Amino acid sequence: MPARFITFEGIDGAGKSTHLEAVAQRLRDGGDTVLCTREPGGTPLAESLRELVLNQPMDPMTEALLVFAARRDHVHQLIVPALARGETVLCDRFTDATFAYQGGGRGFDTAVLRQLEHDVHGTLQPDLTIWFDLPATLAAERRGAARSPDRFEQQDIEFFERVRRGYQARAQAAPHRIVRIDASLDRASVWRQIEGALESRQW
């Protein structure tokens, strides 16, 4: 069975969660065993760290270290074993989000993030990253009153535009891995773009 690691990225309200389950279904229909998970989180320890990161005030370095601590546990306890069993892993956010949020959004040193990326998950990179890109104002409209905002969702439009530029920089540095989806379009158009990315890989 082909082990694939696919990550979903983009600012809050971009449409990641909406489309993750549809991708899982499509791959299951094609015969894959699919594991859906998320970051920060995915293991009991990492979910505990998620609670802290989303709700407790902290400085940017503490935030970055907690996110990578959660990732370390997640990668070792869940992602790598699943890939070793030949499963497909779909993950709602991964290290690109750390570069975008802690690097772009908070202004934390990306050289330190690169070092942590190397030390925490070495050569493990997603086989495909689907980046849902849209203007921060539109994402904010979509989030609307749908959920009570966490520490990140409370940030202003300028924060999310910095996050967006953080994603853009990562996409430019890894154009084969990261596929940009125009997430400002309606659901059907977004889905067609995602299918196109999967089909071009014969997935």
Ligand X SMILES: Nc1ncnc2c1ncn2[C@@H]1O[C@H](COP(=O)(O)OP(=O)(O)O)[C@@H](O)[C@H]1O
Binding positions for ligand X, rule: CB under 6 A: 10, 12-18, 142, 146, 186-187, 190
Q: State both tokens at 171.
A: 């996409």
Quick one: 166 exposed, middle or buried, by C-beta within 10 A (0-12, 13-18, 19+)?
buried
| Shortest reach from residue 193's CB to ligand X, in Å | 10
Residue 28 touches which of ligand X, Mg ion, none (CB < 5 to 8 A by kind)?
none
Q: Does 21 bind Mg ion (CB under 5 A)?
A: no
12 interface partner picked from Mg ion, ligand X, none, CB below 5 to 8 A per type: ligand X
Piece of the chain touching Mg ion by CB under 5 A; list 9-17, 21-29, 41-49, 169-177:
9-17
List the single partner that 41 binds among Mg ion, ligand X, none, CB under 5 to 8 Å by kind. Answer: none
- By beta carbon distance, the residue nearest Mg ion is 17
Determine the Cα angle at 19 with ends 9 and 176, to 5°. 45
HSE (side-chain half, CA atoms, 13 Å) at 17:
7
List phi, psi (to 5°) of 135. -60, 145
Please, which residue, 26 or 72, has the CB nearer to ligand X? Answer: 26
Residue 159, Cβ neighbours under 10 Å: how many?
17
CA-CA distance, 37 to 164, in Å (whole number)? 22
Q: Give the nearest distance from C-beta 115 to Mg ion in angstroms.
A: 28
Q: Is 7 helix (H, G, I), strand (E, B) or coil?
A: strand
- Name which of 12 and 73 has its Cβ closer to ligand X: 12
Residue 63 interaction partner, one of Mg ion, ligand X, none, beta carbon < 5-8 Å per kind: none
- Does the protein bind Mg ion through residue 17 (CB under 5 A)? yes
Q: What is the closest distance, in whole angstroms, from the C-beta atom of residue 7 to Mg ion in the complex?
A: 13
Tell me the CA distances in angstroms from 22 to 6, 28, 187, 188, one per residue in order.
13, 10, 11, 12
Judged by DSSP in three states, 185 sits in coil
Interface residues toward Mg ion, by CB under 5 A: 16-17
